[in-house]
Structure 1
Amino acid sequence: MTRRHMLLLGPLLLFLAAAYLIPFLGVMRWSVTLPEPGLHQYRAALTDPLVQSVIWRTLRICTMVTVITVAAAYMLALIWVRSGPVARVLVELCILIPFWISVLTRAFGWLALLSNRGLVNSWLEALGIIDLPLVMVRNEFGVVVGMVHFLIPFAVFPIATAMRNVDERVLMAARSMGASRARIFWQVFVPMTRPGILGAMLLVFVFSLGFFITPAILGGGRSVMVAELIYLRLFQSPNWGLAAAMSVILMAGVGLLIALLLRQLGERTAR
């Protein structure tokens, strides 16, 4: 990297350090100094049954959200990249319009749709399909639905980029050798888009780890995730040291995931 490149990157690096690194170092200091110096807050975060249950719930929800989101985004990206102009325009609208709506508005929209007196239950009761309303909010189902809806547009872009980089000559070669469409798709096309799938999975999983508004509204306090527990420990039942320790553990987990993905992508590129 030349000196000119360093001069261009310098202001950005300083901004990132001021906006992220310095506050994070302050959080790390809180985790080992509040309410008294030591590592007891980390010990409490890793041994407290409540914190452990919240961590496992967060991992479970994030895993479900990641799988569903990436699968749905893959189908959307496939239509976007390999369909006609009309279908592409419709998919682009489905991808771009959610960016214009805030996460709070979308969460309350799903609450209006899925609540016991919401539109979905009202329609099902009017059609005679159900007698009692389905419980679709204030539980993990509502949280997963809201998070998937928010994260699908973010997962589409890396997958679509990988699909556009697929060499059509490889697909034509497989077709000329007599492979069926299904076999070409599963054994040729999908493996060639693996970097996009991995990137989308990492992006969705990392985003979902830090979700706060959607689980708080659609979970109704019954599906508390790590970010919401950190908020509760900061403002409702103050324990800033424990909240800081959980934040550091969360950041360490995210950093480990990114390092593992980069290593795997690097090995794939080398091969």
Structure 2
Amino acid sequence: MRRFYWSLVLVPLAVLAVLYLYPLATVLWLSVTEPRPGLQNFSRLVESAALQRILWNTARISIITTAIALVVGYAIAYALVHMDGRRRAIMLGALLASFWLSVLIRSFAWLTLLQSRGVVNSTLMGMGLIDAPIPLVRNEFGVVLGMVHYMIPYAALPMYASMQAMDLRLVPAARSLGASRWQSFRRVFLPLSLPGVFSAGVLCFIFSLGFYVTPALLGGGRVIMIAEYIAVQIQETLNWGLGTMLATTLLLSVLLLLAAVSRIVDVRAMFGAK
């Protein structure tokens, strides 16, 4: 029985080591050995203005995306908590259905809607509201819009789970003591929901850092984020040293972020591990 138990544990660990840990270790190794051993690849983070601009673009777009997704997701989660059973089930189904659409399909859909001769510009020009197409894609606006659309479920669901665990009777209790709707929300509901907001914010920001397809399509090569730049370095220029260095930097940034967050909250509980 003991051998059977260990076989159930060791076999998945062996598969994980071969398919995940080994390639990851290879990336880390190449970042300090290509084209020659040393940290010269990492020194380019300080020396190269182009790399610094890409890293700043990635961080800025990720922060903007996270902030907008949290606002929209909070409104959705708040509405879900206060709906009756039937309407809540319908809205939850619609929210979960968005997970079935790939990021590629979403990006092409936004490209069709927002391009110069797309549905949005054609409609606005047909109504006489504009004389020339508005540049809605191949810029930062299109990238942020596509990323926010993808991240809304990841923002709404953790906040909804947090709100659902709250004692909602506290809000009417505050109202009965003389608080207005806004005061009961600001002083009771909002503080109690902040752990869910924090969890959703961390999740959305980490996911946003690694976006590749959406910036590549909706940015049109004019808005470069780190994942797209890594792909260019490895697939086109064959600069494995620089590409793996950036991948390592991205990985370490996420790990440092989680380490910093873990000093404030319980990360395992935040993501539902216990």
Check whether TM > 0.5.
yes
How many Å apart are 1:21 and its aligned residue? Answer: 2.5
> Do residues 219 (structure 1) and 219 (structure 2) align?
yes
Q: Does 1:161 align with 2:164?
A: no
Q: State the partner residue of 2:33.
A: 33
Matched residue, 1:23: 23
Match of 2:148 in 1: 148
Identity, % of aligned pairs? 42
Partner of 1:196: 196
Moved more, 175-184 or 9-18: 9-18
Tell me which amino acid in the other structure corresponds to 1:119. Answer: V
The answer (yes or no) to whether the contact 1:143–1:214 under 8 Å persists in 2 is: yes
Q: CA deviation at 1:27?
A: 0.7
Gap change, CA 1:44 and 1:76, over 3 Å in 2: same
1:254 maps to: 254
For residues 147 and 198 of structure 1, the distance between their equivalents in structure 2, rounded to whole angstroms, comes to 19
Amino acid at match of 1:186: R
| C-alpha deviation, 1:6, in angstroms | 8.2
Counterpart position of 2:115: 115
After TM superposition, which residue ranges in structure 1, 4 or more long, deviate above 4 angstroms?
4-15
Q: 1:235-261 deviations in whole A, cap 9, x for unaligned?
A: 112210111111111111101111222
| CA distance 1:9–1:164, shift in 2 (3 Å) | farther
Superposition RMSD in Å:
2.1
Look up the equivalent residue of 2:219 and give its one-letter code.
G
* Matched ranges for 1:25-174 at <5 A: 25-174=25-174
Correspondence for 2:181: 181
Residue 176 of structure 1, CA deviation? 2.4
Structure 1 residues not aligned, in runs of 5+: none
Distance in 1 between residues matched to 2:167 and 2:159, nearest whole Å: 15
Could you tell me how far 1:136 is from its partner in structure 2? 0.5
1:7/1:176 Cα in 2 relative to 1: closer, same or farther (>3 Å)? farther
Q: CA deviation at 1:173?
A: 3.0
The DSSP-based 3-state class of the residue aligned with 2:222 is: coil
- Aligned-partner Cα distance in 2 for 1:192–1:16: 38
User: Relative to 1, partners in 2 of residues 1:116 and 1:230: Cα closer, same or farther, differing over 3 Å?
Assistant: same
Moved more, 126-135 or 88-97: 88-97
Looking at structure 1, the residues matched to 206 and 115 of structure 2 have their Cα atoms a distance apart, in angstroms, of: 28
1:131–1:15 CA distance, 2 compared to 1 (3 A)? same
State the SS of the aligned residue for 2:265: helix
User: Is the 8 Å Cα contact of residues 79 and 91 (structure 1) preserved in structure 2?
Assistant: no
Q: Distance in 1 between matches of 2:187 and 2:9?
A: 41
Deviates more, 1:85-94 or 1:248-257: 85-94
Shift of 1:185: 1.0
CA offset digits 1:33-88 (Å, max 9, x no partner)? 10111100000133211111000000110000000001111111111121134532
Give the direction of change, closer, same or farther, for the CA distance of 1:5–1:154 in structure 2 (3 Å limit): farther
- Aligned-pair distance for 1:174? 1.7
Instruction: Give, in whole Å, the separation in 2 of the partners of 1:247 and 1:211.
Output: 13
**Unmatched segments (≥5 aa) in structure 2:** 270-274
Structure 1 261/234 Cα, relative in aligned 2: closer, same or farther at 3 Å? Answer: same
Note the C-alpha offset of 1:15: 4.2
Give the TM-score of the pair, scaled to structure 2: 0.90
SS in 2 for 1:112: helix
Mapped partners of 1:226, 1:207: distance in 2: 13
TM-score of the aligned structures, taking structure 1 as reference length: 0.91
Distance of 1:261 and 1:10 partners within structure 2:
31
Q: Residues 149 and 6 from structure 1, CA distance in 2 versus in 1: closer, same or farther, beyond 3 angstroms?
A: farther
Distance 1:16 1:63 in 2: 32
Shift of 1:265: 1.3
Q: How many residues align?
A: 266
Asked whether the equivalents of residues 79 and 87 of structure 1 are also in contact (C-alpha less than 8 Å), the reply is no
